[in-house]
Structure 1
Amino acid sequence: MFVKIALVSIFFALLAFYYPSFVPFLAKFAPQKPNPKNSRLFTPEELQLYNGNDKPELYLAVLGKIFDVSKGSKHYGPGKAYNFFVGKDASRSFITGKFGDNDVDDRVSDLSQEELRSLNHWVGFYGKEYKRVGKLIGSYYDKNGELTGYGREVKKLIEVAELAKNNQDLDKIKYPPCNVEWGADTGTRVWCSNKSGGVTRDWVGVPRQLYQPGQDYRCACVQTPELSANLKEYEGCDSTSESCFVKT
């Protein structure tokens, strides 16, 4: 049996070597790679049909990725609160909250980093809660299912936005925000505790003005009474005090 298989393989190899024009014919018999269902490509016109009326399924797209939200028909079905998103890619509306016919827009490259992160979280939500069924040919994917230039641009912007958030989180851990209170008689007081800023730790720290490029300063708890180009003491406050009154 194995000898026969080997001989057949040798025969086709020799045939392909001496008769290259025969290769396309042989390719028809080659095993085909499976085409994952989530690789199916939809035109905007095709996607529009999956609205619960023309077709029973409910599909929507976010950043060109198409999800089947049929199991959430009580939210996405005809006449329901989120039906606006069905049958189209209205990515921008996830951020703007505008749901008019003239507000359908999938362009998001001008959104802020925080807004891009929020939109990316929507993609994650749909990927977790619903089944992804394909890609939408248009702004994000071409007719071959590959990212377009715009799709690559938005993907990079989201990656940068997520990285910036990670850096902010690290900064918050290093310099936890202070507690703040205001009184009519005493004015504003800032102070540190081992849970201030929502960051639980085994140290308390002292209040400092933390300056960051392009931002107003914020009150940060510093573990050691250090000073640097971006850390300033509060005027009139003891450098070792855990509490300071802010002079205005």
Structure 2
Amino acid sequence: MEEKTTDKKEKRGPQSGKRRESGDESLIPRSASILIMLISAAVALGAIAMLQTQSNEPEAEQRDERTEEKTIPAPPAAEKRLFPVSPTDRRFTVDELRAHGPTASTIYLAIFGRVYDVTKGKQHYGKKGGYSFFAGRDATRSFVSGDFTDAGLTDDLTGLSPDLMLGIEDWVRTYEKDYTYVGILVGRFYDANGRATEALRDAERRIGDGHAARAKENDLKRLFPPCNSRWAAGSGEVWCTTKSGGIARDWVGVPRRFFQAGRKESRCACVKKSGKRSDGSDSGNRGDLDDPRLKLYTDCPVSADTCKIVD
């Protein structure tokens, strides 16, 4: 009986051992498989990330290129000239222009560095013409100074007022309209490459100042219109109407001496004498009469629309 019991135990012993061995063999491969799967997944994810990075690099480079393109500064805008010049325009030297003087078959003159063919005005610019001294040279200054001496016949515009600079612009426009433009003069206003010099830029700025001053003057004339006037020996009279000074309005006004800043002499101005001031502010129904730049004419009634003036 004891032997049988022992046999049974022996049988159970190996069987239980086989179960443990069988259990160990099944656990080891499963762990290895999981590990391999995890490694494979990590490798796959890494490969995908690399592919994405590579595929994004060209796009990033394109974005960088686009960014660089945007940061490239634009070329400077070409200067705008008061009177435009083309790169193909002929460039005269002083000697070449001089060859087209008052005795030449084709007569040229220059003003503001621009050369014009004035041959059709030979009676004025030819040898016996009253303006022959303009031919074959640039005498811009004398067009507004009235100085026709050798010293005055120059293109040096130093010291000319903005108002006189506007006179030069008017003369250039006259030649543009009446004569043929043939090129530019190399010298004070243009260099050998046809580019504007600082002297030309400065002259154009001063012409701009002249336009600004003229606009301000026109504003003052609308505010204080010039009077009508007539003069005889030693005396005269000034008076106002709704159109005096060429300024149409719905009031007549009264004559006053108007002292403008920067000018030594006064001028006659028609002044609004009732209602609000011209700027819209309240004046106690006195219009612009209390403006400090105004003075009464001697012996002229305060409310008169006509004043007698004796020198």
Q: Displacement of 1:88 after TM fit? A: 0.7
Change (3 A) 1:207 1:141: same
Q: 1:71 to 1:111 in 2, by over 3 A?
A: same
In the other structure, the counterpart of 2:260 is: 212
Report the aligned-residue RMSD: 3.1
Amino acid corresponding to residue 228 of structure 1 in structure 2: D
Of 59, 69, 72, 2:121 maps to: 72
Q: Distance in 2 between matches of 1:154 and 1:240?
A: 46
**Aligned sequence identity (%):** 39
- Counterpart of 1:126, as a letter, is Y
Correspondences of 1:26-41 after superposition (within 5 Å): 36=86, 39-41=89-91
- Alignment correspondent of 2:93: 43
Corresponding residue SS for 1:193: coil
Distance 1:243 1:103, change over 3 A: closer
Q: Deviations over 1:14-68 (max 9, x none)?
A: xxxxxxxxxxxxxxxxxxxxx95872211111111123655x3211100111111
8 Å contact from structure 2 (residues 191, 197) kept in 1: yes
1:83 offset after TM fit, Å? 1.7
Alignment of 1:49-198 (within 5 A): 49-51=99-101, 53=103, 56-180=105-229, 190-198=238-246
CA distance in 2, matches of 1:244, 1:231: 15
SS at match of 1:118: helix
Q: In 1, Cα distance between the equivalents of 2:179 and 2:86?
A: 16
Residue 182 of structure 1, CA deviation = 7.1
Higher relative contact order (CA 8 A, sep 6+): 1
SS at match of 1:151: helix
Counterpart of 1:242? 305
Q: Work out the CA distance in 1 between the residues paired with 2:245 and 2:177.
A: 30
- Give the superposition deviation at 1:125: 0.4
Q: Deviations over 1:89-131 (max 9, x none)?
A: 0112223334344543111131233322222211110011111
- The separation in 2 between residues aligned to 1:159 and 1:202, in whole angstroms, is 33
Q: 2:173 and 2:212 mapped to 1: Cα distance? A: 16
Farther-moved stretch of structure 1 (99-108 vs 234-243): 234-243
Listed one character per residue, the Cα deviations across residues 215-247 of structure 1 (whole Å, up to 9, x for unaligned) are: 343331123432233345557766544245679
CA 1:232–1:150: 2 relative to 1, 3 Å: same
For 1:72 and 1:37, locate their aligned partners in 2 and report how far apart those are by CA, in whole Å.
28
**CA distance in 2 between partners of 1:158 and 1:229 (Å):** 31
TM-score (norm 2): 0.58
Counterpart of 1:214 in structure 2: which amino acid? G
Q: Whose helix proportion is higher, 1 or 2?
A: 2
Larger radius of gyration: 2
Confirm or deny: 8 A CA contact 1:189 1:244 kept in the other structure.
yes
Aligned to 1:229: 292
Q: 1:221 to 1:102 in 2, by over 3 A?
A: closer
- Residue pair 2:117, 2:181 contacting (<8 A) in 1 also: yes
Q: Which moved more, 1:194-203 or 1:141-150?
A: 194-203
Q: Distance in 1 between matches of 2:298 and 2:149?
A: 52
Separation of aligned partners in 2, 1:71 and 1:246 = 49
Whole-Å separation in 1 of the counterparts to 2:252 and 2:300:
17
CA contact (8 A) 2:97 2:136 kept: yes
Distance in 2 between residues matched to 1:196 and 1:48, nearest whole Å: 49
State which drifts further: 100-109 or 66-75: 100-109
Q: Which residue of 1 aligns with 2:18?
A: none
TM-score by length of 1: 0.71
> Does the 8 Å contact 1:62/1:89 carry over to 2?
yes
**Structure 1 residues 217-226 or 174-183, which shifts more?**
174-183
Per-residue CA deviations over 1:165-221 (Å, capped at 9, x if unaligned) read 23222322221122346799xx76543222333434442112333332233433311
The alpha-carbon distance between structure 1 residues 57 and 221, as it changes in their structure 2 partners (threshold 3 A), is: same
The size of the alignment, in residue pairs, is: 212
2:31 is matched with none
Q: 1:80 to 1:243 in 2, by over 3 A?
A: closer
Unaligned 5+ segments in structure 2 are 1-84, 275-286
